[in-house]
Amino acid sequence: MTRPLTCHTILALCEQLAQWRAGGASIGLVPTMGALHDGHLSLVRATAKRADKVVVSIFVNPTQFAPHEDFDTYPRTLDTDRENLADSGAADLIFAPGGGEIYPPGFATAMHVDGPALGLESDFRPHFFGGVAIIVAKLLIAALPDIAMFGEKDYQQLLVIRRMAADLGLPIEIAGGPILREDDGLAMSSRNAYLDAEERKVAGQLNLVLKAAIARLRKGDAIREVEVTAETALKAAGFDTVDYVAVRDAETLATIEDLAHPARILAAAKIGKTRLIDNMAV
């Protein structure tokens, strides 16, 4: 079992990585907000197949939460995360900075991404991608990994990060790892822990509604009609609010009228206080 080292400062991280690099090792980075589940661990294992040393960052990033969102209650489980990463045998270093290390007093820089960041999540969480872009840019610049791996559950986030890294000229492969699902198909997420037993049953319907929508799209039903039917089905299944069900170009997230190019169906819906997202290739 590899017990990962832990660094709390950017300086300590850079020093350790410089040592590994000097020995010829390639570096992989898996940015997370902790509360690690099997989905995260699968990303860590996948990264270990692509890089000699794997860094997992754990930081609940305040700038990607709006004031009314769950920053304060977001699960923080560093000790368990450390054990799970040690058991995985795939992580070499945990980077767990404090808030002041990432956002020192006087911090005054913001980022704005257009392109894949427009619409969908941004319509409901306008602060989100600016916060994600700044933290991920800081992590990428600090670690300068050969590869950084992100889960496809946050599909729009993956495309936004890819855009941002390309626009900044960062010579880093931004890779996506497939969504891991529970037995009923619910996409694994740290936020699933918020669901009570009743809500958990409803949550399991999200992936089924998306699968049914994909079946209709493949039969040739009109995209707009399928989106509307899927939203209605989610409400009927017990979701309190449906933010969107949208069929988009899989590479750009642009609105599409047909399936001439690879497409992705993406959805966000709320049960009680818990907001869930999911997506699938069409």
Residues that bind ligand PAF (CB under 6 A): 31-33, 61, 64, 132, 135-136, 154, 157
The distance of closest approach from Cβ of residue 159 to ligand PAF in the complex, given in angstroms and rounded to an integer, is 13
User: CA 124 → CA 87, 118, 145, 170, 264, distances in Å?
Assistant: 37, 11, 32, 29, 19
> Could you tell me the sign of the dihedral formed by the alpha carbons of 209, 215, 217, 221, in that order?
negative
Task: Choose, from 8, 40, 68, 261, the residue flagged as catalytic.
Answer: 40
Verify whether residue 40 is a known catalytic residue.
yes
Select 147 or 213, whichever has its Cβ closest to ligand PAF: 147
Select 57 or 207, whichever has its Cβ closest to ligand PAF: 57
Select 81 or 154, whichever has its Cβ closest to ligand PAF: 154
The distance of closest approach from Cβ of residue 113 to ligand PAF in the complex, given in angstroms and rounded to an integer, is 13
CA atoms within 13 A on the CB side of 38: 8
Query: Under the phi-then-psi rule, with left for phi > 0, alpha for psi from -120 to 50, and beta for the rest, what region is 238?
Result: left
> Could you tell me the sign of the dihedral formed by the alpha carbons of 229, 160, 135, 64, in that order?
negative
E strand segments, the chain: 5-7, 27-32, 53-58, 93-95, 147-151, 173-177, 241-249, 263-271, 274-281
Select 64 or 205, whichever has its Cβ closest to ligand PAF: 64
The distance of closest approach from Cβ of residue 5 to ligand PAF in the complex, given in angstroms and rounded to an integer, is 20
The distance of closest approach from Cβ of residue 194 to ligand PAF in the complex, given in angstroms and rounded to an integer, is 15
The distance of closest approach from Cβ of residue 84 to ligand PAF in the complex, given in angstroms and rounded to an integer, is 15
Are 169 and 194 contacting, i.e. CB atoms less than 8 angstroms apart? no
User: CA 161 → CA 12, 26, 72, 136, 176, distances in Å?
Assistant: 25, 21, 25, 8, 11
Select 138 or 264, whichever has its Cβ closest to ligand PAF: 138
Q: Tell me which residues are annotated as active site.
A: 40
